[in-house]
Amino acid sequence: MSYTAPVKDMLFAIEHLARIDQVAQIPGFEDAGLDTAAAVLEECAKFNEGVVAPLNVEGDKNPSSFANGQVTTTPGFRQAFRQFAEGGWQGLQHPVDFGGQGLPKTIGAACGEMLNSANLSFALCPLLTDGAIEALLTAGSEQLKATYLEKLISGQWTGTMNLTEPGAGSDLALVRSRAEPQADGSYKIFGTKIFITYGEHDMAENIVHLVLARVAGAPEGVKGISLFVVPKFLVNPDGSLGMRNDAHCVSIEHKLGIKASPTAVLQFGDHGGAVGYLVGEENRGLEYMFIMMNAARYAVGMQGIAVAERAYQHAVQYARERVQSRPVDGSLPGAGPIIHHPDVRRMLMTMRALAEGCRAMATVAAAAYDAAHHHPDAQVAKDNAAFYEFMVPLVKGYSTEMSLEVTSLGVQVHGGMGFIEETGAAQYYRDARILTIYEGTTAIQANDLVGRKTARDGGQLARAIAAQVEQTEGELNASATADARAVARRLAAARQAFLDAVDFIAANAKSDPNAAFAGSVPYLMLAGNLVAGWQMGRALLVAQELSSKGQDVGFMQAKIATARFYAEHILVKAPCQRDAIVEGAASVTALALEAF
Amino acid sequence: MSYTAPVKDMLFAIEHLARIDQVAQIPGFEDAGLDTAAAVLEECAKFNEGVVAPLNVEGDKNPSSFANGQVTTTPGFRQAFRQFAEGGWQGLQHPVDFGGQGLPKTIGAACGEMLNSANLSFALCPLLTDGAIEALLTAGSEQLKATYLEKLISGQWTGTMNLTEPGAGSDLALVRSRAEPQADGSYKIFGTKIFITYGEHDMAENIVHLVLARVAGAPEGVKGISLFVVPKFLVNPDGSLGMRNDAHCVSIEHKLGIKASPTAVLQFGDHGGAVGYLVGEENRGLEYMFIMMNAARYAVGMQGIAVAERAYQHAVQYARERVQSRPVDGSLPGAGPIIHHPDVRRMLMTMRALAEGCRAMATVAAAAYDAAHHHPDAQVAKDNAAFYEFMVPLVKGYSTEMSLEVTSLGVQVHGGMGFIEETGAAQYYRDARILTIYEGTTAIQANDLVGRKTARDGGQLARAIAAQVEQTEGELNASATADARAVARRLAAARQAFLDAVDFIAANAKSDPNAAFAGSVPYLMLAGNLVAGWQMGRALLVAQELSSKGQDVGFMQAKIATARFYAEHILVKAPCQRDAIVEGAASVTALALEAF
């Protein structure tokens, strides 16, 4: 099944919702206006549609394999990754100083979506490399930067994140890997890491592992964790590759999905100790790791949107072709394509509205990231940083949870054929299932949203966002069309529901944490629903305006119809989500432990 | 992962909700009281826990395979099926006259759940055989009955349903297989059938295919379809096996789940014509097929409940063992089992409440089936038949849709381990995905619910069911405990939501079918939610009563807590489901076809 990048919808979000014109006023982004965005997206679409997407099914049928410490990736991956690197795609958002293209996230995020729609498994390698680059940029010494950054940014080498251990998943306090300081300033690393994405592969010359470990004598818990660079091959002073380091893949996992992406068990130090180099300062590893994590969390949210878009396209194509039964309204003389059946339309609209809503949310969040990191006005930067921080758990949590629903609907649209692997719909269903888990489960995202992002400031930022939603409601009501009013009505109810939940959480997070956290995931889902619905409301206003001017009327009318569907079928759930959070907390933990 | 049949919960539903004492007053069921139920369930649990459940993972790792026209099932399946047959389990609900045990469905349904929890793939063979038996009992000639029924009921032979063709899935009007009358009264059958569950296998001596085909000259559409018995081996007058019939398996499918169950493509008549025997009269095939279908639809609903129960048990065990992070309420000094985390509790409670709620609904429906088919009072039988007919799409549609949610939560509880196939949680997620599709997709169930079960009588029966719910609300309010009142409150809101949806559907089904059918699946989900929640409300009343008498207090308190959770986290969604149906119909079909 071919993939066509939704360039028009991406540019709509970039131009009208994320306001690329404002991003392009930030020093350093002067050339990153709408024209640049359009040019980059077109080129990116061509590459991903032509080179990466055709490898998606092959990766599922012929996954990465392991033998004798080596991982062989799916045929074609190696060559495609070369093209990816040569095209400069790894460096898209990274600094020009190290060979990157220095583009804003507002543009980069859309490219990330395309790569992931084309091939989730393939895209994971650059995704993890981005995280390693971020960590080194933020906390690496000049020497580490000089040694590793250009090679990572050019795609010559790749990066990994080594957090998880058999006993330490969500709870990094339980990390047991250890680091012994050496006389030359390096460390010897010992331990076992599991679930290491692209921890071993044959697509690049070297792999730069970023590894969490404890220096001997460090405090217990998360305050005693340090971050190390542990390259697969040591690097000589002239930049050439030296000795093989004592970091070895001992197996890869047999997974439900994203099978082409090798998930490695890595053994550090079984032969005397792996050479590692401290990133930043000792015992601040978790802080640095969160830099990588935050970038990766946003990117995984994009994966959710990406797989939703791909599943949607696949389902639409099938629904246009498959002939079965006469439409209930008698609009065809006999059996017709199933896209004529109302329930198939409902499923396709749900898939479409969720993908567009989450894309809009994520694109707006990307612009906030750009302003947070680069805006010259400190207050503007700070406000945007706060907004972006609030958005990260929503982009990650909500977009991935909705991708489970979308990919499941994608199977359902196909009927019995959806259950047959050769159809391809099932692959998205399997692939998507990891997205609500890795880089922090939805519950971890929700804890972050409840604790750090909502309760800590007593719900202040959450209420400020709600006030912005209210402003959009006002604009919708002022425009006075039936569509705008219908959306405004659902938006108002959802905003009120959100505010009630915010009040409940702010009031209970400390005094009755079980009650607040019992509703943490429902609160995340409510917040994500509201913000995506809000962006669809903003989109509707723009689409009405442009449509009335005769600009791209078909596209604009579709946006209006999709926004209204979002409001009436997805946003409409918000008051009930509120009731469960605010009035149902006690029943979550009422059952005695022994009664389960 | 071992399986423990929830015998206590099943007997609770059988005794207190389905009222087995009333079933046992029906002539023919005099011996089928609670003691019999308890004895049968204990025996059934032992068999399924010990023999069938251990083959579940093996079936996934080592599925049925095809070579040279033969299907080899998973090692162990053949022997287990022998034990199943010898234990008399195939004949549980079938007439004593043909060697069955003649037990009511009220008991048989629980046994069906156990078999399916133990092994969905294995259970499909008896499930389809049950359908073939039903069709022959209802419409088969004395000779067909004499030839086939005892062998099917004893499990010596198995049965299949042959409906689907490459161009005819949900739309049976498109069936192209044809039947040519022969001089001896038999027919020659020609055509291709796909998706035939256990269409070929090595577990029994003969396979009795029930095949839809058109007799030459029959009317177009569904009114020209006839039903035929086409045995794999012809049967000699003395009952011994004769010649191999011209019905051959040409391949089996590569599926997302239920891999041990062979899904065959069958070719009829490639070597001169397959010998077939007409069931009942010509051109009434669809009617007979619906008899099989209705039995199978209920049974597939049970599969949803069964896989939900198994996934729940798996997740609970993991959540008790996996240690990660300190509970937010500080109730443990350090990291503890994840079952202490509120969001894990929320997920487990959701899984549990959905499984229990759907089990209660299905058990009550089974008792209605028994009364419908066997009650001596014609009016009582008729009322129960109407109620049962209303329940079939709910048991099938709602229980299977919820099984997708439950098995997905099961993966989520396991975190990263859930994505690793060896853990086993992913198998339930993959296996369950067919349940909302086969034997009629959820949309097909919903069309049935909207068209035949709701609109046809103007919503009369639906409102009568709502009146029964209202009575339960009254009893809950009268009992006046906080739990009962909380449930009554959500039940009242859900009932009102349901009534609004019924009014909307009754008003629009003919005049604006697109509007009515745009909400068909949401209406099914709302109705299922209400009925399951209602049964949980009834369960709460019984549990309060028995608990106050000191009877099995732990179990009764757990039932109360689960009922309240159901009300506050699942039933609570009903008003929003209503809004989407009643106020969101137009936006489902607003997007122009070419804009998808």
Active-site residue numbers of A?
439
What is the C-alpha to C-alpha distance for residues A309 and B494, in angstroms, rounded to an integer? Answer: 34
Give residue for tokens 């990891």.
Answer: A434
The predicted pLDDT at position A292 comes to 85
Give residue for tokens 């220096």.
Answer: A215
Residues on chain B touching A590 (C-beta within 8 angstroms): 561, 564-565
Q: Which long-range contacts (C-beta less than 8 Å, at least 24 apart) are formed by A287-291? A: A288/A135, A288/A138, A288/A139, A288/A227, A289/A135, A289/A161, A289/A163, A289/A172, A289/A210, A289/A212, A289/A225, A289/A227, A291/A134, A291/A135, A291/A138, A291/A139
For chain B, say whether A513 makes contact (Cβ under 8 Å). yes
Question: In the numeric block, which tokens belong to residue A296?
Answer: 């990766």
Residue B412 to residue A437, Cβ atoms within 8 A: yes
Residues on chain A touching B419 (C-beta within 8 angstroms): 255-257, 433-434, 437
What is the C-alpha to C-alpha distance for residues B65 and A42, in angstroms, rounded to an integer? Answer: 46
In A198-239, the DSSP E strands lie at 206-215, 226-231, 233-235
Q: Per-residue confidence at B411, pLDDT binned at 50, 70, 90? A: very high
Q: Residue B206, SS3?
A: strand
CB B236 within 8 A of CB B289: no
Q: Residue A258, SS3?
A: coil
What is the C-alpha to C-alpha distance for residues B22 and B56, in angstroms, rounded to an integer? Answer: 36
Q: Is the pLDDT of residue B290 over 90?
A: no
Closest among B133, B80, B73 to B108, alpha carbons compared: B133
Give pLDDT tens digits for B119-137: 999 999 999 999 999 999 9
Main-chain dihedrals φ then ψ at residue A439, nearest 5 degrees: 60, 35
In B398-488, the DSSP E strands lie at none
Beta carbons within 8 Å of B485's beta carbon, 6+ residues apart: B476, B477
What is the C-alpha to C-alpha distance for residues B157 and B142, in angstroms, rounded to an integer? Answer: 18
Query: What residues 233-292 of chain A have any CB closer than 8 A to a CB of chain B?
Result: 253-257
Main-chain dihedrals φ then ψ at residue A66, nearest 5 degrees: -125, 135
Q: Give the minimum alpha-carbon distance from B92 to chain A in angstroms, rounded to a whole number.
A: 30
Residue B513 to residue A328, Cβ atoms within 8 A: yes
Query: What residues 154-183 of chain B have any CB closer than 8 A to a CB of chain A?
Result: 164, 167-171, 173-174
CB B505 within 8 A of CB B447: no
Positive or negative, the CA dihedral A30, A35, A38, A39 is negative
B327 DSSP assignment: -
- DSSP lists the bridge partners of residue A337 as A323
Residues on chain B touching A500 (C-beta within 8 angstroms): none
Active-site residue numbers of B?
439
Give residue for tokens 């896989």.
Answer: B307
Positive or negative, the CA dihedral B187, B188, B191, B195 is positive
Give residue for tokens 């995984």.
Answer: A300
Residues of chain A short of pLDDT 50, as ranges, are: none
Q: Is the pLDDT of residue B370 over 90?
A: yes
CB B26 within 8 A of CB B12: no
Q: Residue B454, SS3?
A: helix
The predicted pLDDT at position B233 comes to 98
The predicted pLDDT at position B292 comes to 85
What is the C-alpha to C-alpha distance for residues A113 and B353, in angstroms, rounded to an integer? Answer: 37
In B253-333, the DSSP E strands lie at 263-268, 274-279
For chain B, say whether A496 makes contact (Cβ under 8 Å). no
Residue A174 to residue B335, Cβ atoms within 8 A: yes
Closest among B135, B210, B225, B217 to B177, alpha carbons compared: B225
Q: b/e string for A211-237 if b means 16 or more Cβ within 10 A? A: bbbbbeebeebbebbbbbbbbbbebee
Pick among B300, B427, B487, B587 to test the A interface (most A CBs inside 10 A): B587
Q: Is the pLDDT of residue B291 over 90?
A: no
The predicted pLDDT at position B293 comes to 87
Give pLDDT tens digits for B462-508: 999 999 999 999 999 999 999 999 999 999 999 999 999 999 999 99
Mean pLDDT of the region B49-65: 98
How many CB atoms lie under 10 A from the CB of residue B117?
32
What is the C-alpha to C-alpha distance for residues B580 and B559, in angstroms, rounded to an integer? Answer: 31
Residue B565 to residue A587, Cβ atoms within 8 A: yes
Closest among A107, A80, A76 to A91, alpha carbons compared: A107
Question: In the numeric block, which tokens belong to residue B273?
Answer: 């014509």
Question: In the numeric block, which tokens belong to residue A376?
Answer: 């010259």
Q: b/e string for B529-541 if b means 16 or more Cβ within 10 A? A: bbbbbbbbbbbbb
CB B311 within 8 A of CB B435: no
What is the C-alpha to C-alpha distance for residues A249 and A234, in angstroms, rounded to an integer? Answer: 16
Q: What is the mean pLDDT of chain B?
A: 97
Give residue for tokens 């099926």.
Answer: B81
Q: Residue B554, SS3?
A: helix
Give pLDDT tens digits for B330-358: 999 999 999 999 999 999 999 999 999 99
The predicted pLDDT at position A528 comes to 98
Residue A437 to residue B420, Cβ atoms within 8 A: no
DSSP per-residue string spanning A21-69: HHHTTSTT-TT-SHHHHHHHHHHHHHHIIIIIGGGHHHHHHS--EEETT
What is the C-alpha to C-alpha distance for residues A569 and A591, in angstroms, rounded to an integer? Answer: 32
Q: Summarize chain B as % helix, strand, coil (round to 5).
A: 60, 10, 25
Closest among A105, A107, A127, A106 to A116, alpha carbons compared: A127
Q: Is the pLDDT of residue B1 over 80?
A: no
Question: In the numeric block, which tokens belong to residue A62?
Answer: 């012929």
The predicted pLDDT at position A1 comes to 74
- DSSP lists the bridge partners of residue A196 as A264
Closest among A149, A118, A117 to A136, alpha carbons compared: A149
Give pLDDT tens digits for B385-409: 999 999 999 999 999 999 999 999 9
Chain B residue whose CA is closest to A339: B593
